[in-house]
Amino acid sequence: MQISTVNVGDEHTDIGWPIYPQGFYTVLAAFMNCMEIFRFILRRMVHPIMTSR
């Protein structure tokens, strides 16, 4: 998907996405990273239990 230039004067980008503060995306990216790490650790913990049976 091509994201063209953002018109900051408007409340929305030209593709219809609302403009959020930069911190919002930073927190969202950190949250997604934490979820990925959590899923990785959970998989490492659960996998030996599943294979031992």
Residue 26 and residue 22: Cα distance in Å, rounded? 6
Give which of 2, 5, 26, 23 is closest to 14, Cα–Cα: 5
Give the largest Cα separation in the chain, rounded.
Answer: 60
Contact call for residues 36 and 28 (beta carbons, < 8 A): no
Please state, in angstroms and rounded to a whole number, the distance separating the CA atoms of residues 41 and 34.
11
Q: Whole-structure pTM over 0.85, yes or no?
A: no
Q: Over the stretch 19-39, which tens digit does the pLDDT of each residue have?
A: 677 778 888 899 999 999 999
> How confident is the model over 1-13, as pLDDT tens digits?
555 555 555 554 4
